[in-house]
Amino acid sequence: MVSLKDISVRCGVSVATVSKALNDHKDVSAATKERLIKAAKEMGYFPNSQARALKTNRTYNLGVMFLDNAGSGLTHEFFAKVLNSFKTEAEAAGYDITFINKVIGRHKMSTYEHCKYRNVDGIVITCTDFTDPDVYEVVNGDIPVVTIDHIFDCRTAVQSNNESGMEELVNYVADKGHHKLAYIQGNKSAVAEKRLAGFCKACATRGIEVRPEWIPVGDFHNPDITYRLTAELLKSNDRPTCIFMPDDYSAIGGYNAIKDMGLSVPGDVSVVGYDGIAYSQFLSPKLTTYLQDTAQIGMTAAKRLISLIEKSQPTFAEVVTVNGQLLEGRSVAQL
C-alpha cells in the first residue's frame, strides 16, 4: 500500500507537505499541489481510513437506524428515497453510512453499543418505533443524532409537513363538494398523530363532522388491512363519499376493495392517498395524493447531522419542516 512517505520520497518534499497538498491546504502552492496529487494518482495512493480516524478523531462514518415494522425494508419507496438522498449528500461530504442493528454475527448488543462498536460520528433515526428503550438509549447518548419524522426535545429533527399536508388534502376534497369524509389512519406514531390532527382541524374549519366510526385505525404500508377497513366503511347505506387512505401503497388495498364490491373510483366513492410514490400515478384512475419531498428530507437530515459533527461550538436542537405538494389525480369526483 502506497503511503504519504512514498509520495514524499518520489517528489522530494516532506510528508507534511504531501498531507497538506492532498487535503487542499492553502499554504501549499498550486503548482506543488498539482504535482503531488498527480503523483499520488499515478502511484495508486488511497487514504487510510483508520489512520485518518486516529489523526482527526473522526471515522467519517454515519450510522442509520432503520427498522420497518411492516417488513418491507428498503423496498418501502418513501423511506428508500429518503435514505438514498441522505446517502448521496453524506457521500458528497466525504462520509460513508452503516446500517445499525442489534446483532453482529452471533453477538447481540444494543443499538447504542453497535454505534460505539462501529465508532460512527453520528446517527440518523428513521422509520422505527421511537418509543423503544433502544432508541432512547441512543437519543440520550453522546453521539450526534438527527431524527426523521419524530421530535425529541433534545435532538434535531427533520419532518415533513404532515399536518398541513393533510389539511391541504381535506380542503381540496371539500372544494369538490365532499362533506362525508372517512380517514383510515396509519399505525400509532408521531406521523399518524400529525395527519389525524390535520384532518380534524381542516374538517372543523370547513364545518365537516368527524364521525369516530369513520376514522378507523389501520396500518401504514399495509394494503390487506386497508382492504378490510375500506370494505367495512362501504357496507352501510350511509357511507362516506371520500376515503382518505393511510398512504399510497395502502390505497392499492382500498382500490381493490371498492372494485370487489362492484363499485368504482371515483364514480361511487372518491379516494385520496398520501406520500406521492410512483405507484400512485400508475393506479387507474390516477390517485390524488400528497407528494412528500423525499430528496429534500434526506438531504436536509444529512446536512444537519454533518453540521452537528463538524461544528466545534455547541448547537441547539432544531426542528426543520420540509414542505410537499398536492398531486391532483382523477380519484376525486366533483359532487
What pLDDT does 67 receive?
Answer: 67
Lowest pLDDT segment from 130-134, 140-144, 178-182: 130-134
CATH 3.40.50.300 fits 61-160+295-323, yes or no: no
* C-beta of residue 62 within 8 angstroms of C-beta of residue 91: no
**How much is the pLDDT for 6?**
86
Amino acid letter at 41?
A: K
CATH top-level class of 162-292: alpha beta
Grid coordinates representing 151?
421530535
Mean pLDDT over 108-122 rounds to: 86
* Residue spans per domain, the chain: 4-44, 61-160+295-323, 162-292
| Burial bucket for residue 127 (CB in 10 Å: 0-12, 13-18, 19+) | buried
Gyration radius (Cα) of the chain, Å = 25
Domains 4-44 and 162-292 share a fold: no
| pLDDT > 80? residue 318 | yes
The pLDDT of residue 173: 98
Q: What is the mean pLDDT of residues 30-50?
A: 82
CATH for 4-44, options being 2.30.42, 2.60.40, 3.20.20, 1.10.260: 1.10.260
User: At CA 192, angle to CA 191 and CA 197, rounded to 5?
Assistant: 100
* In contact, 247 and 221? CB cutoff 8 Å: yes
The cell 391532483 sits on which residue?
Answer: 328
Answer for the pair 198, 162: CB distance below 8 angstroms, yes or no.
yes
Around 280, how many Cα atoms within 13 Å sit in the side-chain half-sphere?
29
* pLDDT at residue 21 in the model: 85
Helix (H, G, I), strand (E, B) or coil at 35: helix
Q: What is the pLDDT of residues 259-299, one digit of tens each?
A: 999 999 999 999 999 999 988 889 999 999 999 999 999 99
